[in-house]
Amino acid sequence: MSDHGGVLNALITGGLGATIGSVITATIQIFSKRGESRATAADLVSKAAGTIVARLDAENRELREALLLLIEVLDEVTPELAELRPDISVKLHAARRAAERTFV
């Protein structure tokens, strides 16, 4: 389970880094082009923000689809694993509840 957490952390960290990088790049471009109008600068920031939102939305959709698949798999294997390893039954149920909470 910690391997999956590492992947999730990498996705979140990468998305956050890309977001910050895009905003910084847009800001530098705004200030480096002093002769351009404010409307052009605002358009540049707006486009950068739109790109960031679209990317984060796509990543969110992919993560939700993966989470739904994991919930389905948990539903299939939990009864068998609970019989073999009763000690992990509580963790499996807790993991499923946590996954479901993301869709509320």
Q: What CA–CA distances, in Å, run from 72 to 26, 75, 78?
A: 42, 5, 10
* pTM confidence score: 0.54
pLDDT number for residue 1: 46
Is the confidence at residue 33, as pLDDT, over 70?
A: no
Neighbour count for residue 48 (Cβ, 10 Å): 19
| Nearest in space to 27 (alpha carbons), one of 56, 52, 55, 58 | 52
Q: What is the pLDDT of residues 44-98, one digit of tens each?
A: 778 888 888 888 999 999 999 999 999 999 899 888 888 888 888 888 889 889 9
* Rounded distance between C-alpha atoms, residue 79 and residue 93, angstroms: 10
Q: Which of 19-23, 33-37, 84-88 has the lowest mean pLDDT?
A: 33-37
Is 83 in contact with 91 (CB distance < 8 Å)? no
